[in-house]
C-alpha cells in the first residue's frame, strides 16, 4: 500500500488552503465550494487510515458510511463546476432542474445503501463499494471501501448492454457525466473522465478502491480548473440545445 493517512492529510490541507485562497481572491463559488467538498473527502480518508482494516471498530464503520454518503451527494458539486463552463444565461435557466435531477440521483444511491431483503445482495468483485460488511480496508495502494449494499441493478440489465455495476453507479454516471453533456459542458466531462474514472481504472484493479482513488484525484481536477490554463479551454458557447450563440454573461 503506497498511500498513507499523512499523504491524505497533506492533500486535504492543500485543497482546503487553495479553496480559502481563491474564495478570498473573489473566484466564483462554483469553483471553490466543490474544491472544499472534495478536500473534506480527503480529510475523511486521512482519518480513515487511523482505523484501516479494523472492521469491528465503530469508527471504521462510521467513516466508511460517511465516505459513501459523501459520494452520494457528489453529483451536486460536479454539476456546480460543469455549469460554470456554460453561458450564464443558460445556467440560470437550467440550474434548478439540474439540481433536482441530482437529488434524484442521491436518493437512488441512498436506496442502494439499504439492505432490503427483497433486493438481494450486491456482487462482490464487480460493483464498487460492495462487501460483506461495512469496513474500510487496504486496497492495492489506497483505501478500499466496502458495504453490504443491496442487489438493485447488480444483475446484468439487458436493455443497458448488460450493465451490472449497481444502481449507485448507474445513477452517479447519469448525473455526473451524461447530464452535463446534455446541457453542453462536454469539455469538462471529457477532462473529468480523464482525471477521474480513467486514471482510477489504470491505477487499481480493485473496484472497492476505485472510488477512493477517484476522490483523491478530484482535488487535482478542481485545482486544475481553477489555477491552470486548462480552465480557459473548458468553456462552451455553442451547443445544439442552445437557441443561439450566447456569451458568458447576460
Q: What is the pLDDT of residues 22-58, one digit of tens each?
A: 999 999 999 999 999 999 999 999 999 999 999 999 9
Percent of all residues in the chain with a pLDDT value above 90, rounded to a whole number: 79
Q: What are phi and psi of 87, to 5 degrees?
A: -55, 140
Q: Range of 76's domain?
A: 5-233
- Dist. CA 250–CA 237, nearest whole Å: 13
* Structural domain contains residue 248: no
pLDDT of 221 higher than 90: no
Q: What letter does residue 161 receive in the DSSP assignment? A: T
Cα 23 to chain centroid distance, Å, stands at 22
Closest by CA to 64, choosing from 236, 241, 211, 226, is: 211
Q: Please indicate, yes or no, if residue 90 is contained in any of the structural domains.
A: yes
Residue 240 lies in a domain: no
| Predicted structure pTM score | 0.92
Give the model's pLDDT for residue 24: 94
Q: How far is CA 37 from the centre of its chain?
A: 10
Specify if 217 maps to a domain: yes
Q: 35: Cβ–Cβ under 8 A, 6 or more apart, which residues?
A: 15, 18, 19, 22, 219, 222, 223, 226
pLDDT tops 90 at residue 190:
yes
Q: Is residue 245 part of a domain?
A: no
Structural contact between residues 143 and 212, judged by C-beta atoms closer than 8 angstroms: yes
CA–CA gap between residue 92 and residue 248 (Å, rounded): 11
Are the CB atoms for 34 and 44 separated by under 8 Å?
A: no
Answer yes or no: is 45 within a domain: yes
Cα end-to-end span (Å), the chain = 50
Structural domain total, the chain: 1
Per-residue pLDDT at 1: 52
Is 250 within the bounds of a domain? no
**243 within a domain of the structure (yes/no):** no
pLDDT band at 233; cut points 50, 70, 90: very high
Q: What is the pLDDT of residue 171?
A: 98
Secondary structure class of 148 (helix, strand, coil): coil
H-only helix segments in the chain: 5-24, 29-48, 58-72, 74-84, 88-113, 167-173, 179-182, 186-193, 199-203, 207-227
Amino acid at each position: 500500500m503506497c498511500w498513507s493517512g499523512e499523504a491524505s492529510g497533506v492533500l486535504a490541507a492543500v485543497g482546503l488552503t487553495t479553496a480559502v485562497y481563491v474564495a478570498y481572491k473573489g473566484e466564483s463559488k462554483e469553483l471553490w465550494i466543490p474544491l472544499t467538498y472534495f478536500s473534506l473527502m480527503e480529510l475523511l480518508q486521512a482519518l480513515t487510515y487511523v482505523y484501516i482494516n479494523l472492521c469491528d471498530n465503530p469508527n471504521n464503520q462510521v467513516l466508511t458510511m460517511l465516505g459513501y454518503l459523501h459520494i452520494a451527494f457528489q453529483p451536486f458539486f460536479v454539476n456546480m463546476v460543469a455549469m460554470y463552463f456554460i453561458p450564464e444565461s443558460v445556467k440560470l435557466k437550467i440550474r434548478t432542474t439540474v439540481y433536482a435531477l441530482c437529488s434524484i440521483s442521491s436518493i437512488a444511491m441512498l436506496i442502494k445503501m439499504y439492505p432490503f431483503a427483497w433486493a438481494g445482495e450486491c456482487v462482490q468483485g464487480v460493483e464498487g463499494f460492495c462487501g460483506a460488511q461495512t469496513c474500510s480496508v487496504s486496497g492495492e495502494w489506497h483505501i478500499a471501501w466496502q458495504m453490504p449494499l443491496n442487489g438493485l441493478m447488480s444483475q446484468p440489465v439487458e436493455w443497458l448492454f448488460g450493465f451490472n455495476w449497481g444502481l449507485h453507479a448507474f445513477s452517479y454516471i447519469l448525473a455526473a457525466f451524461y447530464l452535463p453533456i446534455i446541457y453542453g459542458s462536454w469539455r469538462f466531462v471529457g477532462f473529468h473522465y480523464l482525471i477521474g474514472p480513467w486514471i482510477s481504472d489504470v491505477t487499481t484493479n480493485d473496484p472497492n478502491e476505485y472510488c477512493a482513488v477517484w476522490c483523491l484525484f478530484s482535488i487535482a481536477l478542481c485545482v486544475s480548473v481553477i489555477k491552470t490554463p486548462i480552465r480557459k479551454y473548458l468553456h462552451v458557447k455553442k451547443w445544439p440545445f442552445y437557441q443561439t450563440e450566447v456569451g458568458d454573461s447576460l
